[in-house]
Structure 1
Amino acid sequence: MQNGDDGKHSLERSLGATIRELRQRHGLTIAQVCEQAAISRGMLSKIENAQATAGLDVLNRIAKALGVSMATLFRNYDVPEGGAQLVRKGAGMEVVRRGTKSGHTYHLLAYDQGPRKLFEPFLITIEDAAEKFPVFEHPGTEFIHMLKGVIEYRHGQQTYTLHPGDTLTFQASVPHGPERLIKLPIQFLSIFVYPSPGEE
């Protein structure tokens, strides 16, 4: 938790850095912004270097001189650090699932989500025709997006022919799975979205 002084200095640093970045990005000199905002060069220099606190009226005039909204000046302040998980091309964790066989791979593209899985995104590649595919049933919703090849996919009593760019979304508790491989190699994204507690 920030104390008052630390928070104030952090805000001044954030505002100063944002104003300088916007000014430079728009190719404006300190003199040009000062003229438009009707403030002294010394004042703008101090604001950019977090050596002075600017009132709302001054910040509003600076924002107008920069051609942005006042909210834009605060965009980098108190933003959560973030914790996105990046998985580079080819670096997904290869997993063994029912139906995995030679020429049929599952790469899990996100993992370590905490005690309860919310979703699982797989990159599925089929390079060899398999004799028979298992039928899958699991809780939640499944989303498939075709990347390569052509496949006939069964959901319940219906079959769908999927080409690159096609998507199929369905209740995963209904029996489903590949019915026929039409054009190899086949590659598609398969995302399992699991139900929230109490929805199962």
Structure 2
Amino acid sequence: MSEDRDAFVPKTLATRQADSERRMGLEQYIGAVLRQRRVAQDLTLANVAELAGLSRGMVSKIENGQVATSLESLERLTTALGLTLSQLFRDYDSPEGGAQLVKAGEGMEVVRRGTRRGHTYHLLAYHRGQQRNFEPFLISMDDESEAFPTFQHDGMQFLYMLEGRIEYRHGKQVYTLEAGDAFTFDAQVPHGPERLVEVPIRFLAVTVFQDD
């Protein structure tokens, strides 16, 4: 029985500490949202304090996350700033996006096996994790005389033609692709450009890899 009691105490303390940290984070979040809203409306602390019926010092402490705010005070502040309580808490505790933006012309240029002049690959997203899920490339070709290699690798591949016309081989079949066409295939089957019909050619190539 004493062992159970001893095991229970640290869990309770840890829970209280986590609750305290969470409250601190919530207060800072509330303060940041209210401050951003006030500044966006070009209002001073004194303006908001007067509209909300609170002291200037209290509004300042709330914005800086220094006090635990009552629901009544929050309602006064949100009303003064034209917010609802649901809007105030909309982004609280939501996961971070972790999005990746590659601006036009900033894709990393890479060299693929067998490629030569007039055939460039720009990688449009860079893998940050251990597992590779997909690879998106912007591929440009402008040399009709170039001899192209045959590719064969894991995953499914999706091509979307942006410009030009190309004959593209997949296995024993040759397909003519032009602007606006979408082409999906098993990348384990040998594939690659057969003939450049109308240059310049640009297309998106996205390889999706299966989970291990």
TM-score by length of 2: 0.69
2:148 is aligned with 1:146? no
Report whether the alignment pairs 1:56 with 2:71: yes
Deviation at 1:95, TM superposition (A): 2.3
Query: Distance in 2 between the 1:178 and 1:79 partners?
Result: 45
Identity of aligned residues (%): 49
Q: Secondary structure at the match of 1:133?
A: coil
Specify the alignment match of 2:7 in structure 1.
Answer: none
**1:110 paired residue number:** 125
Q: The residue matched to 1:24 in structure 2 has which SS? A: helix
1:177 and 1:57 map into 2 onto residues whose CA distance is 67
CA separation of 1:174/1:35 partners in 2, compared to 1, >3 Å: closer, same or farther?
farther
* Alignment match, 1:14: 29
* Alpha-carbon distance change, 154 to 64 in structure 1, aligned in 2, over 3 angstroms: farther
Aligned with residue 60 of structure 2, among 17, 30, 45: 45
Larger Rg: 2
SS at the partner of 1:13? helix
Between Structure 1 and Structure 2, which shows a larger proportion of helix residues?
A: 2
Distance, in Å, in 1 between the alignment partners of 2:132 and 2:102 is: 18
In structure 2, what is the equivalent of residue 92 of structure 1? 108
Residue pair 1:139, 1:173 contacting (<8 A) in 2 also? yes
TM-score by length of 1: 0.73
Displacement of 1:126 in angstroms is 1.0
Corresponding residue to 1:124 among 131, 134, 139 = 139
Following superposition, the deviation at residue 129 of structure 1 comes to 1.4
- In structure 2, runs of 5+ residues without a counterpart are 1-13
RMSD: 3.4
**Distance in 1 between the 2:97 and 2:55 partners?**
36
**One-letter code of the match for 2:175?**
T
